[in-house]
Structure 1
Amino acid sequence: MAGRTGPQKAEEPVNYDIRDIDDQQTWDEFVTAHQEANFLHAWQWGEFHASRGRAIVRRGAFDGTRLVGVYTGHVEPAKRGQHLQIVGGPIVDWDNRPLLKAIVADIRAQAVSHDCIYARIRPQLEKSETSLALMKSLGLRPAPMYLSVEMAGVLDLHKSEEQILEGMRQRLRRALRKAAKLNIAVETSTDPADIHQFYQIQLQTAERHQFVAFSEEFLSKQFAAFAADNNAVLYTAKHDGEILAQNFMIFYGNEASYHYGVSTKLGTKLSGAPLLHMHAMRDARERGIKRYNFWGIVDEHDTNHRFYGVSVFKRGFGVDELRYTPAHDLVIKRFAYLKNFVIETLRRKSRNV
């Protein structure tokens, strides 16, 4: 579940000390204590971007000696000017207005120090009229382009496997029975070298579904960053030794995230993907995780969206919709930002996303 806003607390003058955090244990203990957080604010997320040569920011707000809020981001280079990306955060009490103001001021200072045109923030905050009004009051404006997932499909793993099966669409239950009949096997790996095969199948999947594939380097570095702490697992469904489907899962805090998935042509016929999700859910429970995030879905009526088909598959598991407050921008250089705003607006319309 994302964070929520409630009645605003009375503003009291507090001098927060906001500074770099360089200790992973301090960082992860704070982030994972917040039920809404996921891997987008994990320490490893910053390590992944650092491995790509990006400047990263990890900042913590202290009230005396007590850590009360954090945010992480990276500087993304672009021809039109670089910007600071903060996704899935800050992790903070969204009802504490003085703290929010202090963190936004610090984000501005970090963006300026890295010569950014703007900072783009996709909060880990459930979308509501209150959350949108809060963004505006903090000096943020709606971004012309999304930053990570804006609507996700989530399952409550407090439910038993039997309850989840009951909530599934009949087509998926049939696929699971077929997988059992065909003796489809599931293998797991935490070896980054195995991402090579995943990448090759991703190219096939991208061609079938007409999307731009991630580079092998991008995928392998991301997997390696999380696998180093046993938080990334590659699930593979096989029939008679042939790969049907693979899922790139990330386990962090209270959430298991279905980050990427691919399938072969044979996999589209034998449908090994549902079985991979059931295995990942079992593993999540063993880790004490209570939320399974299928990641991005689109509106049920948005049939022209390029991800509509995969959304139908995810919704078949009986997911609940989780709408995040969409990305907002903190403008630093207004003229350069305006040019970028126009280009991104046109690009989003042309991509139908």
Structure 2
Amino acid sequence: MSIKLINSETEWNNFFDRVGSPSFHHAWEWGTFQEKHGYPIERLGVYHKNDLIGICLVVKIRSKRGNFLLIPHGPLFETLKLDQLGFVIEPNKYESIKNIFFELNEHLKSIARNEGYWFIRMASPLLDNKINRQLFHDLGFRKSSTYIHAETMHVIDLRKSTDELLSKMRKNTRYYVRKAIKESLEIECRTDDRAMDIFWELLAITVKRERFVSYSKKYIDNEYRVFRKNNNAVFFLGKAPPKFAEIGPSNYLAGSLVIFTKTAGFYHHGASIHTKIPIAYKLQWDSILYAKNRGCHFYNLHGVYRPGRAPRAWKGLTLFKQGFGGSQMDYVPTQDYAVSPKYIISFAADQYINLKRGM
């Protein structure tokens, strides 16, 4: 087995799609996006002879809380069994998969030691079960005191008819979706530059109302542009007919940025004006239909509340997301591998931040 850099976007994407493209955080575009924000990256390929059997995006982060190598929703291996948008290890393949993980982790440890990183943080797409947790325990990882990317998500299986999707919704969610359709609430699917400006105005209103710290405009704009280049990012912007006389930026009431892989659509950013008009329900319904018509198998409403791993403030949004049907998907909690004694500094800092978040 050998581990080499992958410089070919085509080679990376072909493998990414072949194993199910479970998370945009391990897409080629996510690496490009990280580089735009000043983080060095490495795209590693794991080869058996000349055959690519795994990929691993490595993001090199230096921050006040510590220096570490981040593996965002990876690595991905073809020997893992896909279950919706996560992976499981079949018992008869455990030892071979553990050996592959071990060799990869040895390579990551070498990078960390040579370049002054304190630890490896792996946000794995392995589903949270006993055998998957055992893998990290056997390799010497420990549960991280925090998370970087969503660990608990709400996922809708789109391989159903439209009527079936509606029938699986919570009763009041289905009522508001149908009401929004009846009232001709308009949702625009846009990939132009102006869409970003409209969304940002809506987000500024949302931040002021809900009192949270949002990503910067540069962050969201770069994410949008990087994924849009490959037709993998769409803004959904909702506005009501003139009869409602709502006041908003350019009469828009809600917006979202949805990122796509071959397999799924991901509701990653959202914003809205407080209103009794059920525009947010129509926004999600149109996004679901768009993903289905695009050929996606799943629509991922992304992060939901998980006690001890997410802020309690997420409870309301979680209830909204769960109303659209689907099921909860839990990844193994983020795992850390200490390379330097300095890791304890980061661990303590993350615990302090968790207290401030209300976790």
User: Taking structure 1 as the reference length, what is the TM-score of the superposition?
Assistant: 0.90
Match of 1:4 in 2: none
Q: What is the distance in 2 between the residues matched to 1:294 and 1:324? A: 15
Q: Contact 1:189–1:235 (CA<8 Å) still a contact in 2?
A: yes
Q: Contact 2:155–2:327 (CA<8 Å) still a contact in 1?
A: yes
- Which structure 1 residue ranges, 4+ long, deviate > 3 Å from structure 2? 299-304
Match of 2:119 in 1: 118
Question: Displacement, 1:191?
Answer: 2.4
Residue 336 of structure 2 is aligned to residue 329 of structure 1: yes
Q: Of residues 344, 347, 350 in structure 2, which corresponds to 1:341?
A: 347
Question: Displacement, 1:287?
Answer: 2.2
Match of 2:251 in 1: 242
Q: Contact 2:24–2:261 (CA<8 Å) still a contact in 1?
A: yes
Question: Displacement, 1:153?
Answer: 0.4
Paired amino acid for 2:46: A
Question: Displacement, 1:290?
Answer: 0.3
Deviation string for 1:235-260 (max 9, x for gaps)? 01111361111110011021111111
Question: Displacement, 1:349?
Answer: 2.2
Q: Contact 2:66–2:345 (CA<8 Å) still a contact in 1?
A: no
Match of 2:326 in 1: 319
187-196 vs 55-64, which moves further: 187-196
Secondary structure of 1:168 counterpart: coil
Match of 1:85 in 2: 70
Structure 1 residues 46, 300: CA separation in 2 closer, same or farther (over 3 Å shift)?
Answer: closer
Q: What is the distance in 2 between the residues matched to 1:238 and 1:247? A: 12
Q: What is the distance in 2 between the residues matched to 1:347 and 1:195? A: 30
Size of the alignment, in residue pairs? 335
Structure 1 residues 107, 300: CA separation in 2 closer, same or farther (over 3 Å shift)?
Answer: closer
Residue 278 of structure 2 is aligned to residue 255 of structure 1: no
205-214 vs 224-233, which moves further: 205-214
Deviation string for 1:256-298 (max 9, x for gaps)? 1111111112xx3212122122222222222221011000111
Matches within 5 A, 1:1-353: 16-35=1-20, 37-92=22-77, 93-94=79-80, 95=94, 96-239=97-240, 240=242, 242-265=251-274, 268-299=275-306, 305-334=312-341, 336-353=342-359
Structure 1 residues 28, 177: CA separation in 2 closer, same or farther (over 3 Å shift)?
Answer: same
User: Taking structure 2 as the reference length, what is the TM-score of the superposition?
Assistant: 0.89
Structure 1 residues 300, 54: CA separation in 2 closer, same or farther (over 3 Å shift)?
Answer: closer
Q: What is the distance in 2 between the residues matched to 1:49 and 1:304? A: 25
Structure 1 residues 301, 159: CA separation in 2 closer, same or farther (over 3 Å shift)?
Answer: farther
Q: What is the distance in 2 between the residues matched to 1:271 and 1:277? A: 11
Q: Contact 1:108–1:119 (CA<8 Å) still a contact in 2?
A: yes
Question: Displacement, 1:121?
Answer: 0.6
Structure 1: give runs of 5+ residues left out of the alignment. Answer: 1-15
Secondary structure of 2:324 counterpart: coil
Q: What is the distance in 1 between the residues matched to 2:335 and 2:308? A: 25
Deviation string for 1:106-151 (max 9, x for gaps)? 2222223332111111101100121111101112111111121111
Structure 1 residues 130, 346: CA separation in 2 closer, same or farther (over 3 Å shift)?
Answer: same
Question: Displacement, 1:165?
Answer: 0.7
Question: Displacement, 1:192?
Answer: 4.1
Cα RMSD, aligned residues only: 1.9
